[in-house]
Each structure stands twice: as structure tokens, then as C-alpha cells.
Structure 1
Amino acid sequence: MPTITIEPATPDRFGDLEHALSGGGDGASCQCQWWMLPNKDWEKTTRGEREGMLRAELDAAPPPGLIAYADGEPAGWIRVGPRPTQVRLGRTRAFNANSPEPWDDPSVWAVSCFVVRREHRRTGLNAQLLAAAVEFARRNGARVIEAYPTDTNVAKKSSNDLYVGVLSVFEDAGFHEVARPRPERTIVELDLTAG
């Protein structure tokens, strides 16, 4: 088994993040900007513009996510940050009509995206990324973390469609379901103020 380390996505790690995003799926073209832009703005941006947006996010504090390394090689990514900054989440009817948390509360953070390179899939890396994201959010003042994973017991999805995560990984990490807007789509939450 490789040695896994997980680090904040800082400007000096931009190349590592790009490598992690390029290992399969839509990460390389999306540049993890899907949840950051309303659809009309998303449609107008190029991959290069989205790359510039991601680079600018790395210059801000806190970083927009974490990078996993397997034996020093970039292997995966998780987006975690204040939910209000992830604009499309609040504009997604299935989420905004069903979340118990106020949408403008910056103490509510969201885990909205996972990318794991093909060669590191099915190794438990998503669970490790999620555990690190919980601690990262806690250290940066989050009160609650929300996520929108797929219940793969209800619907089988391609690995590309699992970028929001898998319900069982969140349940294993202590998250509980607060809503189910569609049979396979859940909203889960972890209260970081609870003992």
C-alpha cells in the first residue's frame, strides 16, 4: 500500500492539483468550477478561463480543497469550503429546497467534489480525503459540513457521475442523511459542534 499524505491546495501545489484532476473523468476540463458558477456563466467559460479561476482560488484563504498524494505522487482532490461560495449549490432546486441549513451561513461548509486518478480508485482514497476535509473544515471554523452524495444501492453510476461522492463513504465518516431529493441523491450533514 502506498503512503498517503493529504495537503491543502496552495499556489505552490497548482501543478500537483492539475495532475490529480487529469487522471480520468471530467476534472481536467471542469477545473472544479462546476459548483462555483451559475449555469449561464459556466456555459460562457473556456477550460483556460476555468483554470485561471481555480488558480485564483488557490491564492485565497482558506484553500478551496485538499490534494491527496500516494507515495508523493498527486492522486486525488476534494473540494471543501464555505457553502455560500459554491454558488451553484444554492441554485440547485433539489438542494436549496431540502437543506435544513440557511444558504447564506458561511459556517456551513460543503464537500462538493472528489477526483481520484484511475490508478488510485478502489483504494479507500475518498474516505481518507473526506476525513482530512472534515478536520480541515473544523480547523477553519466550520460549524456544519453538508454534502450531496449518490446512494449507489439505489442507482449504479459511472465513476464520472460519482464526483459528488458515495453515500456509504459519508455514512462511515459519521454524516447522517437529512434529505433525499431524488431516490439516488442524498443530502448529508455532519455537525462539528457535537461532542
Structure 2
Amino acid sequence: MVEVRAAGPDAWADVAAVMGERGDPARCFCQYFRLRGQQWDAATRDTNRRDLRNQVRKDDVPPGVLAYDGRTPVGWCAVGPRSSYPRVVASPNWRTDHKDAWVITCFVVPVGHRRQGLAGELALGAVEFARSQGAAVVEGCAVDISTASRTSSADLYRGPLSVFLTAGFAEISRTNDRWVLVRKHL
């Protein structure tokens, strides 16, 4: 049984363990949507790691949720108010009439824990966390994997469309075949 809970001040070691030492999560540390243009260009693995560590340890509202299998952290989902993600606010893929929506921006499930339904558990946990913080709407920019012959695991960081639909989200719009704005009213 997987438990999903907010990544609060004491959870940094678990967040770091999920992000790992290699690959996109270990470079980005879920800062891509928080930075734009030159800020992102100037960011390094170390500054991104430091920034997420500070967000986990110091922000009034944790920047995401963690999935645990017993005591072992096995997944991460970044979720927060739309206004905390400047790249989301500026992106045509995230055009919305719900400016106060919360957004799910990233999923990280380490190798060895994939294909076990963790992304779905994380999505549900992120929705419940957003609800507990007073959110009325949660959105995501899902990846429709049915439109490509093959999708790498690195391209799934936004979450597969099927995960969102199973979690009760509805398709709102598409800016192309792959990117699908989804929404769930709470």
C-alpha cells in the first residue's frame, strides 16, 4: 500500500533520494516551470537542487507530494498554485480561464518503481493536497502517448493523459497532438 503525503520541511532527504543523482530530475529538481528565459539558462544542477531544498524546507506550502512504500520514498509530484510557476503562466500549452488554479507540473518515479501505478497515486495525492490547501481547481498539461509511436520515460515528466483521466480530470484543450490541458474541479 502506497501512502502519499506532502513534502514538508523534514522531507528533503526523501525528495533528494527520489530525484537521484542522474538523469533529468537530478538536473532540474522541478525548477523548470519556476524559471523562465535567462533564469533557466543560468540555472545549474546545484542551484536547482538548492532552490528545491529551500522550497521543501522553508516555504509555507510544500512544493509537492511524495509517495512512500513503507518508509521508502518511491515517487514525487510537483503541485502548487499556478502563480508560483512563471513558465506555466506564460505557456500557450497552459492557457486557462482559471488563473487561481493549482497545477501539477512534474512526476518523478525512479527506475525500479515504474509501471506500478505510482503516477496515478501521486496524482490523487496531489489533488488531495491541493484540496487541503483550499484549491478549487487543479490542472495539468498531460502527454498523450497515443499520438506517438514511442514515448521515452524522460518525456513523461508531465504525466500521461491516461493518469489524469483515471484520476478524474477532464480534457479541456490541446495546443498540439501531444500536449493536453486537463482540469479537475474540487
User: Shorter-chain-normalised TM-score: which range?
Assistant: over 0.9
Work out whether residues 23 and 117 of structure 1, in 8 Å CA contact, stay in contact via their aligned partners in 2. no
Residue correspondence of structure 1 range 27-106 to structure 2 within 5 A: 27-58=25-56, 59-96=58-95, 99-102=96-99, 105=100
Q: Does 1:161 align with 2:158?
A: no
Q: Does 1:132 align with 2:131?
A: no
Structure 1 position 25, deviation (Å):
3.7
Work out whether residues 93 and 141 of structure 2, in 8 Å CA contact, stay in contact via their aligned partners in 1. no
For 1:135-164, what per-residue CA distance to the aligned partner results, in whole angstroms no more than 9, with x for missing partners?
111110101001001011112310000000
What is the RMSD of the two structures over their aligned residues, measured on CA atoms?
Answer: 1.3
**Structure 1 residue runs without a partner (length 5+):** none
1:147 equivalent in structure 2: 140
Count of residue pairs the alignment pairs up: 184
Q: Secondary structure, in 3 states, of the residue corresponding to 1:26?
A: helix
Structure 1 position 100, deviation (Å):
2.9
Q: Secondary structure, in 3 states, of the residue corresponding to 2:10?
A: helix
Question: Percent identity, aligned pairs only?
Answer: 38
**Structure 2 residue runs without a partner (length 5+):** none
Compute the TM-score of the two structures, normalised by the length of structure 1: 0.90
Provide the rounded CA distance (Å) in 2 between the counterparts of 1:66 and 1:18.
Answer: 13
Residue correspondence of structure 1 range 167-178 to structure 2 within 5 A: 167-178=161-172
Residue of structure 1 aligned with 2:185, choices 181, 184, 191: 191
Q: Secondary structure, in 3 states, of the residue corresponding to 1:15?
A: helix
Structure 1 position 189, deviation (Å):
0.2
Work out whether residues 20 and 75 of structure 1, in 8 Å CA contact, stay in contact via their aligned partners in 2. yes
Q: 1:23 to 1:188 in 2, by over 3 A?
A: farther
Q: 1:126 to 1:23 in 2, by over 3 A?
A: farther
